[in-house]
Amino acid sequence: MSSRKTPRIRITGSHRVVLRFGRPTIATLQDILGPVRARISVLATALLVAAALPAASQAAPVENPCEGKEAKQLLCPNLRIGPASELYVEDNGPGRVLLRATSDVRSRGRGPMELVGKRNGWRTMRTNQRIYRVGGGQITVSSDATLRFTDVGAYWGGAYWKVHQLAQFNLRAVEPDGSLGAVVRTSPKLNYCLRDLERTQPSAVSPASRHYPGCNQNPYRSRVTLGTSVGWSDIYPAPYQQQWINVAGLSGCFSFEMTVDPKENLFESNERDNTSQRLVSLPFTGITTC
Ligand SMILES: [Ca+2]
Ligand SMILES: [Ca+2]
């Protein structure tokens, strides 16, 4: 699944791999994984060799660094998303019956999901993904994810730098045999923060306090960092801006499907656990079975 992705290990004008060796600012597994110096050298060498390859070789697909041989030396992130919850219907008049739901993007890897955005437009930034290494340091890989300065309305605090297409909500038909059918409706919502809102799975490798407290609201920033720490969740309540799918005119059994990173822009240790399903019977009366 990940073969379509090329991490595009970032190379500067002097053909230098951006492979940083500073101290990580987050909790790591270094205390329980033992010495890794020799293996880290192998990783660093592999990355430098990759950077030195001729152009034709660089164009070849490169495995997700979080699924390749060196993955064990990386504190790779893994995103999941909880099933749609706290569902209710908001009747907005003819043709607009909004089935609202709370979403819960969960950070469940060995390291945080972290993006560094750099401005490339009036209200956009390109991003690099930062992946921490076992024993300290980090690698930086170019990401197809972009940031958008997104206005969610005054009630929810105004505008924030958010990750475009971080998640997607679909409504799928459920066939008589219980199998999932075609997508019949889609939510307009595409942009989300990455942040530490709730520590939903505490553990020894999950920071006890927020490391990524919230998304930046300064439209003039040239650079921002977003992330979600291990064991933490970025949650949006059902009443929040665009947390809905329009179910007007539908009846029968459907699945409210949530997918995190639907465009596969972000490198994760598991790319196959990014979708959740919640059955709903429509017209909706609060029944989440069929
Ligand atoms: Ca995942
Ligand atoms: Ca992914």
Instruction: State in Å: Cα 267 to ligand 2 middle.
Output: 5
Neighbours of ion ligand 1 (CB under 5 A): 78-79, 268, 270, 273-274
Instruction: State in Å: Cα 183 to ligand 2 middle.
Output: 21
Any domain includes 287: no
How confident is residue 280, by pLDDT bands cut at 50, 70 and 90? Answer: very high
Which two tokens mark 65? Answer: 């660094």
Looking at the structure of the chain, the number of domains it has is 1
Any domain includes 245: yes
Any domain includes 290: no
- Helix (H), strand (E) at residue 76: none
Rounded CA-CA distance 62/263 in Å is: 17
Any domain includes 288: no
Q: Tell me which residue range forms the domain holding 185.
A: 2-282
Instruction: State in Å: Cα 215 to ligand 1 middle.
Output: 22
How confident is residue 288, by pLDDT bands cut at 50, 70 and 90? Answer: confident
Instruction: State in Å: Cα 260 to ligand 2 middle.
Output: 8
- Helix (H), strand (E) at residue 103: strand 97-107
Decide if 106 contacts 79 (C-beta within 8 A): yes
pLDDT tens string 182-226: 999 999 998 999 999 999 999 999 999 999 999 999 999 999 999
